[in-house]
Each structure stands twice: as structure tokens, then as C-alpha cells.
Amino acid sequence: MIFRGPHPDVSAPNKNVAEFVLGDISAHKNKTAIIQSETKRKISYQELSESINQLAAGLQKNGFKKGDVLAIYSPNLPEYVVVFLAVLKLGGICTTVNPLYTAQELAKQLGDANAKIIVTVSAFLDKAKTATQTHAVQEIIVIDSETEYRNLKGLMQANHELSEPSISPKEDLCALPYSSGTTGLPKGVMLTHHNLIMNMRQTEGMTSHNAISEKDTVLGVLPFFHIYGMVVIMLYTLYRRGTIVCMSRFDMEDFLDAIQTHKVTKAPIVPPIVLGLAKHPAVEQFDLSSLELILSGAAPLGEGVAIEAANRVGCNIAQGYGMTEASPVTHLLPIDSNPNKIGSIGVPIPNTEVMIVDPETEQPLKTNQNGEIWIRGPQIMKGYLNRAEATNESITQEGWYRTGDIGYVDDEGFFYAVDRIKELIKYKGMQVAPAELEALLLTHGSIADVAVIPVADEEAGELPKAVVVRKNELPVTSEEVMSFVADKVAPHKKIRLVEFVDKIPKSASGKILRRVLIQKEREK
């Protein structure tokens, strides 16, 4: 059975993302587009548009062309937006990198994406230089200071008339974020201009969802490298002519202060921050009365936490559902829904079809039956970069994307995500791929075998746990295991728990029986 949402389908113009987001700003040219929370620096729509055109011209003069890949390795800054949209204006592709990545992780992504340029900040320059020793990019550009490398300001002063290339929105890629999909190592997700534009139009089509408007101030605390921050906050807010309050890092009190200072009306956040709003003692010290809507996504939000936070803050909390491979949104919970639906991920957005499928037989199921959530719509990625096999495993010949999540739909058409088939661990809304950590741990001289599984945690959602088989009973400790990983990966990928066992359960083909280990963990 194929399910659709109650909202009518929408269409998308034949434009590139930069043109779509910042086309005609004449009516809003003096309006503030972005505020940097830490410095209070403001940029108008006019200044933003001019900066994008200047940078695009400078990049073009230096040989950057349609189809080239530029990596952004930076915290949230107004310049992040400038770089992203300048690249897309030229028909280039942005691969966005987690700013917490180590040099080793950065090098992997640069190499896989075949990045021509990396744009970073002076604080990350050493890691960028180390990474580019492994993968030689043509140039490192620094956003915020004058070093031996070219900076943005210098590039934007290039005297060059911009020549915009012809872009085919449905075919040409614009963004290359990385996701682990349902299994394995992080892969480049190929998103077209049409993918992103359609997803913004689909979100806009949820009229009852209280769409962002020019009157709104939206908190940009979620990282722009992540598809949620990239599309829902950065691009969609500008398209709707709202104001983004840009935060370079999360701190609970800074977060609360930003809401109070800038009179934030909409806050797209993740469940751990919602938990903070429900429990953190500092909440009472700030005036949060400007908040009209909190949108929670990237990981499941418990109904109890949602209600507690909504009551404490005094505003609506809506939940959404999506993934990098879907640009990202597939479901939204309309804010005018029945209060009994607060634990639901909502209804499919316009132009989106959903099936609940038996994971074994792949036969469609009816209402109130648990199965894998399959999605089809114009927001679904083109595929994984240079990973034809992984693409074919994820997208059926009929265009259905297999999410790897288990859920059901009730009799009123509201969907619920209840579990996952996929191996991915969600730590504070960030992806952790077990296979990546397992491969790393197997390089340790005292580890014979290992499996990494999720363990439920109220604050983080899930914690990565290593189930370890020692090599010949060599005396490796839990602390040594955790430290070994911590030195080599971004903070969200750290092993938080360790258990030593005699044997890892495996199938006849040698695949780790992760579900067996997870079930044992749940029974403890």
C-alpha cells in the first residue's frame, strides 16, 4: 500500500540553487540576512548577494569551473553561506566537512570527493595542511586571516566579470555531503539542484506547518555541513527571506542567550537540545518568550521529553523525519495536529510517496504494521558517489529509497519511527558508522575481533559501544580502547563504552550479527 500526505503536490522552477534562494532580493535588500551571534556582526541581503557574486567571479578567474568540487571545512559563519552559494552559482559542487574531523578523516573525504579547493579557517589550518599532504588539493583558502594562503577577501577583490554557466538542475550536482546510508563507511551523497529546490518547495507546501517567513528569526546552531543545517536552516531561511542567527558552536547558555538577545522565533534543533530545554536549570534564567516553534529532527524525539520541553518553554514543538539521501525532509508533523500525535514523525510532505514494507519479503504492509520505511520522491538523491553497488542496494529500480528504519502508519495517516534495521548509530543526531570504528579498532595490536553497537542514552540518544575480543588475552583495558579511538576520530564518533567477550556472533558468511548483540544489550 502506497501512502501520501494530505497536502497537494508542488512544482519547482528550472533554476540553480543560488538563483532560487537569492533571485530577486530587491524588496529585502536592506533586511538583515545573517547575524553572527558571537560577534553581533550583521549582513544584509544586498551585502550577501554582492559577496556571493564577487567570490564567484574570483573563483572563476582562478580556474574554478562547472563540475569542480570545493570542500568547506569550517564552523558556522556568514562566510560559509557566501562560499556555498558562490560555488553553486558556478555550477560547482560543495562537499561539506564536519569541522570536528581529524586530519585523517578530512583527507579521506577530500580524496573521495576529488576536491580541487578547500576553504577553511585559521584555527583548522594545521589539520587542513596535514590532510592535503595525503590528498593534494590545488589550493587552500582561509576565511578569516591573512596567512601564507590566499584569503576570501583577496579572492573577492578580483577584477573579473562573472560568466554564469548553463546548469541542468535535474542532472547537475550541487552538494556532496557524506552519509553512511544504512551500512558501511561514509559515502558521498550526490544531490542535484533540483533535489534541494524541490525539498524547499515541498517544505513550503506544508502550509499548516507554519512555514518560515520574512518576519522570522531562525537560530542557526545546527552545523551547516549537516544536511539539516544546510537546507532547513541555511538555504530555506534565506529563500523565505528570514534572518539567520549563526552560531559557530553549541553551548547551552550561549544558545539560550542567543534566543533572548535576537528574539529568535523558530529553532530547528535536535533531541539532545530539546532534552536540555526540558531539564537544564539555566532555562529559567532567560526570556524565551519570542519562540514560536521548535522543530526537532535528525533523531527520534521521545514524546515525554517533547511535552515537558514544550510546556516549559511555552511554544509548539514539531517533529520531522528525513535523511541526507532525501535532501533531507520526507515527513513533518503539522503544528496544528492532534496533541496525541506529538510522538509521530508526521505525514509525508508533498510529492512524496511512502511504503511500509516487510523487511523479509519486501511486500507492502497495511496500517499499524511495523515494517521498513521506503520513500519515493523528487528529493531522493541521484546516488552515492562512485558507489554503484551501494546505490543499487539503497534505491530500487522503481525509485524507492530503503531507509533502514522500522516504522508504521496509523489509521489517520500519521507515521511513527520505532526502530532501525540499519547499522547507523545516532549520537546527538550525528551519524556514527560502526564499520568505520570496527576497521579502526582492528588495527590495535591487542584486539582480535570487535563489533560496535548502539546503547540507548537519554541525553545523547545512542552511545557507541565496542564489544571486544582480546588477542590471546593480551591485557588491553577499556580505557585504552576508548583512548585509541578518541585520538583518531571526531568527538561524536568516540567509543563511550567497552565490553570484553570471548566471541563475536557471526552469520555463516562472516557478517557480524549485530542485532543479536543489541538484543543482549537491551536485556541487561
Could you please state the CATH topology (level 3) that the domain comprising 427-522 is classified under: GMP Synthetase; Chain A, domain 3 (3.30.300)
Do the Cβ atoms of 347 and 413 come closer than 8 Å?
yes
Q: Terminus-to-terminus CA distance in the chain, angstroms?
A: 37
Residue 222: CB partners within 8 Å, gap ≥ 6? 228, 229, 233, 268, 269, 270, 298, 429
In sequence order, the β-bridge partners of residue 478 are none
Residue 196: CB partners within 8 Å, gap ≥ 6? 17, 174, 175, 231, 235, 327
Tens of each residue's pLDDT in the chain, 524 residues: 999 999 999 999 999 999 999 999 999 999 999 999 999 999 999 999 999 999 999 999 999 999 999 999 999 999 999 999 999 999 999 999 999 999 999 999 999 999 999 999 999 999 999 999 988 899 999 999 777 888 999 899 878 889 999 999 999 999 999 997 777 789 999 999 999 999 999 999 886 556 799 999 999 999 999 999 999 999 999 999 999 999 999 999 999 999 999 999 999 999 889 989 999 999 999 999 999 999 998 877 878 888 899 999 999 888 899 999 999 999 998 777 777 788 899 999 999 999 999 988 999 999 999 999 999 999 999 999 999 999 999 999 999 999 999 999 999 999 998 877 778 899 998 989 888 899 899 899 899 899 999 999 988 999 999 999 998 767 899 999 999 999 999 999 999 999 999 999 986 656 788 888 998 998 88
d(CA 277, CA 306): 9
Q: Give the cell for residue 418.
A: 520505532
Q: Within 10 A of 522 (CB to CB), how many other CB atoms are there? A: 9
Burial 8-29 (b: 16+ CB within 10 A, else e): eebebeeebbbbbbbeebeebe
Matching residue, cell 576508548: 482
Give the pLDDT score at 515. Answer: 83
Tell me, what amino acid is at 331? H
Q: Specify whether the backbone of 399 is left (phi greater than 0), alpha (psi in -120 to 50) or beta.
A: left
> Alpha helices of 62-149 — where are they, by DSSP H?
78-89, 103-113, 125-134
Query: Which has the closest alpha carbon to 243: 27, 35, 76?
Result: 35
CATH 3.40.50.1100 corresponds to the domain 17-34+45-166: no
Query: Which has the closest alpha carbon to 86: 176, 28, 164, 150?
Result: 164
Going from N- to C-terminal start, the domains of the chain cover: 17-34+45-166, 427-522
d(CA 494, CA 102): 12
Give the pLDDT score at 367. Answer: 97
Do the Cβ atoms of 384 and 427 come closer than 8 Å?
no
Give the pLDDT score at 303. Answer: 80
CA atoms lying within 13 Å on the CB side of residue 339? 6
| CA 94 to mean position of chain CA atoms | 14
